[in-house]
Every structure is written in C-alpha cells, then in structure tokens.
Amino acid sequence: MTFTVVARCPRTRMLGVAMATRSVAVGNRCPVVVSRMAAGSVQAVADPRLTLTCQRLIALGWHAPKVVQELADSDPRRASRQIGVVDIYGHAAAFTGETNNFYAGHITGDGWLAMANAVVSAAVVEAMAAAVLDEGPALEERLIRGIEAGGRAGGQKEGQNSACILVHADEPFSYLDLRVDLDDEPIAELRRIFDRISPLGPYFQERPYTPDIGRDDHWLMARGLPPPGRH
C-alpha cells in the first residue's frame, strides 16, 4: 500500500528512494540504499527480512535486474510483493506481484523507477515517473517531487499516514534520511522538514572530517540560509 520513486543522479552518483503510504513508519521497513551501489524498496506486504536480503545482494555488487529477480524467485509470497531497484550504472528493475491490490504497477527508465500498489489509478505511477524523469533538480528534490506528484494524482484512497526519503552520496552513511512516521499529511510534513534540513547535506558530509567546522546554524547563516530551528 505504497507509492515510491527510486533514482540515481548520473552527475553526482548519488542514489535515493522516497515513498509514502497509508501504513505508519514506512521508513522503518521498506527503503534500502547502499552507497555507490544501488537503491531500492521492498514493499506492498513489506517483509524487513527481504529488505535486508536486498541490501546484502546490492552490497555484493549485483546489478538491479539480478537483485530483483533473485528476491522474486526465492520468495514463496512473491505474489504479494512489490520490489524495485536502481543501481549505480543506471539499470532499473521492478517486480509487481499479481495479488497486489488495485492499482499496482511500475514504470522504469534509465536510472529511475516509479512504482505503486493499492493506489487509485495508474495516473499515480505516471505522475511520479514524469516528475522524477526531470534531471534538472538535485536528486533529493526529484525524489520529493516524485511522491508529491503521486499524492496530487490521488495517492491511496484512504490517504497517507507516513512518508520518508533516504539518499546516499559517496560516504557509507546517509546524505539525507528523513521520516514522517505518523501524520495526517505526511508528504507535506516531509517537504517542510526537507526544505529546512536538506541544505545541511554537505555540512554533515564534511563534519566527520572537519570537527572544527562549527555549529550547523552558524554554517547555514554564513551562507545566507536560515537556521533549522522551530518555526
């Protein structure tokens, strides 16, 4: 019961995934990113064990089509799953099990995919695909716009309760990892948090190597940006 976009940036080699769903705390179960390798999601009837397996296969260097095929072929409950992976080379692969609730489907392209299950219509996936296909904005902005487009196209009939975005750059830790675990408008809340925190992506990538870089609010203000306080 989820709609998701996964993509890589051909310029920066960043990888990421964003999603929204009626269930709570979707970021705890479905998304996976391995730096410099691939990003993806195992969803529909989510199984965190499969998400962990997906992460391990990616870390072994398997390309996206092989990861998706292995996960689908080895899962006795694959009919109720939806799986999508995009690797660093731009390969995109997805699987939508036949017992997923209407509407369920996916679209893949060079370096991106959009997939959804239990949404109001195919227009949700099509809207997400159109949004994430635009390579002009930064990857994280493309991902956020993707799920925003899915929500505007109708999302799920019952609405959404949680949303998340997970992005990695070259470091083994995340560049951006934001979650809205329970909210009446989780995509809007994710956007609000994203707009305040995303400018700090470069700061938190540099800070482990430059401990004297200073406080995050001072770093932002030195660049003419507002501090990430409460408003």
What is the tens place of the pLDDT at every residue in 76-120? Answer: 999 999 999 999 999 999 999 999 999 999 999 999 999 999 999
Is 212 within a domain?
Answer: no
By residue range, what is the domain housing residue 163?
A: 2-201
Judge whether residue 168 has pLDDT over 70: yes
Split into its structural domains, the chain has a count of 1
> Domain of 105: which CATH number?
3.60.20.10
Give a yes or no: residue 213 inside a domain: no
Structure-token pair, residue 135: 């390579």
| 50 is a domain residue | yes
pLDDT tens sequence across 189-225: 999 999 999 999 999 999 999 999 999 999 999 999 8
pTM for the complete prediction? 0.96
Residue 210 domain flag: no
211, with CB counted inside 10 A (0-12, 13-18, 19+), is: exposed
Does residue 71 lie within any of the structural domains?
A: yes
Residue pLDDT, tens place only, 140-156: 999 999 999 999 999 99
* CA–CA separation, 208 and 174 (whole Å): 13
In a domain, 61, yes or no: yes
Please list, in sequence order, all residues whose beta carbon lies within 8 angstroms of the beta carbon of residue 25, skipping any fewer than 6 positions away.
162, 179, 181, 182
96 part of a folded domain: yes
In a 3-state reduction of DSSP, which class is residue 183?
Answer: coil
Do the domain assignments include residue 215?
no
Burial of 98 (0-12, 13-18, 19+ CB in 10 A): exposed
pLDDT at position 226 is 86
Tally of helices (H runs) and strands (E runs) in the chain:
7, 10
